[in-house]
Amino acid sequence: MLQVYNTMTKRKEIFKPLKKNEVSIYCCGVTPYNTPHIGNARPFVTWDVIRRYFSKLGYKVRYIQNFTDVDDKIIAAANREGVTWKEISERNINSYFKVMDALNIKRADLYPKVSETMEDIILMIQTLVDKGFAYKIEDGIYFSVEKDEHYGKLSGRKIEDMQAGARVEVDDKKHHPMDFALWKSAKPGEPFWDSPFGKGRPGWHIECSAMSLKFLGEKFDFHGGGADLIFPHHENEIAQSQCCIGDENSFAQYWVHNGFITIDNEKMSKSAGNFFTVEDILKKYPAEVVRFFLLQTHYRSPLDFSEDRIKETQTAYNRLKNTFDNLNELEKIIESGKFVKQTTDLKTAVITVSQAGGLVDLAERLRAAFDDAMNDDFNTALAISYMFELSRDVNSYYADYMSGKFSPKGADAFIILRVKEIFMEMAGIIGIFENIPEEKNSSANSELVEKLMEIIISIRQTARKEKNWTTADKIRDELKSAGIILEDIPQGVKWKLN
């Protein structure tokens, strides 16, 4: 039974889809005024895993993610560079897709943009004006928070407290300091669109309401984003959407927010010099390692990014990658016919094969535990721990087989293939082992690499026969430092990339 922590109710709730076997999701996307930073990556990796898990459970998922391609920061960047706002946004949208594709994030069903949804935005603003929830002043149209008796229910803030703590407003024509812009009147040098309220452009919050309602309807399952969006963005979305619809139970049913990312325990900012774009990080670390790093902590918890932690993550990831390689190697051995097929019944195989029988039992148990973790508010941190538990036993089985400690019976083949299937099901939900760079020994120069390794291994074997352990160990250690692991097995010496 799947439970989800709902920011609105401040507790875990049993998930009940609005439509049977269907899940609808809206996730607030980026404002493309710059290339994506590591903080941008976390919500999209989080929602990618959630989507994958729902799909695995058999749900049909509809996932919408917007681009805020009309914004003050985009306009400022365009003016600095002497280009159009569209050039800035399109350039950074392309950058977004490049890095998110590298992180194995599956594409959303739709990526609506502010500039392409203007008609719907204007219509929604007009509805709010007509219903008396919005008013016009010189610089635009504003939503009146005092007209919404439920305002503040997501963040838990009260209007009277916000009134007392508000700073003196530059524009004292607003009815309340927390009233927010739905439409901004055109200013010189800024893009604008025609509307019944005059030339201008939308405020920040109205866009997501208009897009989610257009593409998911008046009620949908999930709305998500970073915890920084709870107030004011998502609070304002709820207010304007429910007032527009006329139903306080409309709009998103579950609100899901991921925690903040800090850099060496400090808030990330350009002024502090600790601002990291995803592009910069991917120059130093494999994309799947970065993705894995983001998922080793529960999505609602704060996450601190540091060089030491990402290096630790790379070591941990490599342990699972080694298991992935070992299972692939065992599958190749099975395909070569070295495991004689003595039975086609997996149940019989578990009974008759001691070396692998326990392994498949463990795998089935850990897969159930993995699902339990995911059912508990998508706890990837706990789910991943079960992958490591399975990894340990798989690697032990592989090592024992390769060292000649036992000769597998034919039934082992069916067991090992099932274990690999389970391991890959877990990996598929976490989203790893999907975008692994082509290894050197399978490149265009693979024959040369193989020949060179044969020569090096031959020299080492000669040194060992002559009991020249210093040379033999030096060769092994130097290769290891270069990322090449030698394994001594009864059949000879096997090498692989670390």
Q: Check: CB of residue 244 under 8 Å from CB of residue 209.
A: yes
Assign 3-class secondary structure to 78-114.
HHHHCCCHHHHHHHHHHHHHHHHHHCCCCCCCECCEH
Write out residues in the chain with pLDDT < 70, as ranges: 163-172, 270-271, 338-357, 409-411, 436-447, 489-491, 498
Side chain identity at residue 106, one-letter code: K
pTM of the model: 0.86
Measure the CA–CA gap between 181 and 166, rounded to whole angstroms.
16
Instruction: Return the bridge partners of 223, or none.
Output: 26, 255
> Do the Cβ atoms of 376 and 3 come closer than 8 Å?
yes
| Number of neighbours of residue 218 by Cβ within 10 angstroms | 15
Q: Is the peptide bond before 232 cis (omega within 30 degrees of 0)?
A: yes
Residue burial 131-157, b: 16+ Cβ < 10 Å; e: rest: eebbbeeebbbbbbbebbeebbbbbeb
- Round to whole Å and give the CA distance between 321 and 346: 26
Q: pLDDT tens, 198-245?
A: 999 999 999 999 999 999 999 999 999 999 999 999 999 999 999 999
* Neighbouring C-beta atoms of residue 6, cutoff 10 Å: 19
DSSP one-letter code for 167? P
Kindly give the pairing relationship between strand 251-258 and strand 219-226: parallel
Residue-wise pLDDT tens digits, 237-281: 999 999 999 999 999 999 999 999 999 888 887 667 778 899 999
Tokens representing residue 289 in the block: 């390692």
Task: Give the pLDDT of residue 442.
Answer: 44
DSSP string, 169-207: PS-TTSSSTT-EEEEEE--TTS--B--TT-SEEE-HHHH
